[in-house]
Amino acid sequence: MEKAEINYVLDQLKNGDITEYHVPKQEFLAFRQVLVAREDFKHFRGIAERGGDVIYQYLEHPRS
């Protein structure tokens, strides 16, 4: 995945166009690198799955 594609997905989560996004283990590091650089990073929650995949959701209130 490229940076622009990842930001597009994250914006979709933020805008409520999608409720969650599944990130395969192979794409996790690239996805996370873009995510942590965002100003609204604390609004995203990653739920780890067995096997290394992660499901991301957007939270209205930032996590602490």
Full-model pTM: 0.93
* pLDDT tens digits, 9-63: 999 999 999 999 999 999 999 999 999 999 999 999 999 999 999 999 999 999 8
pLDDT confidence tier of residue 1, bands split at 50, 70 and 90: confident
Tokens of 12: 């979709």
* Interstrand relation of 44-48 and 20-23 (parallel, antiparallel or unpaired): unpaired
pLDDT confidence tier of residue 64, bands split at 50, 70 and 90: confident
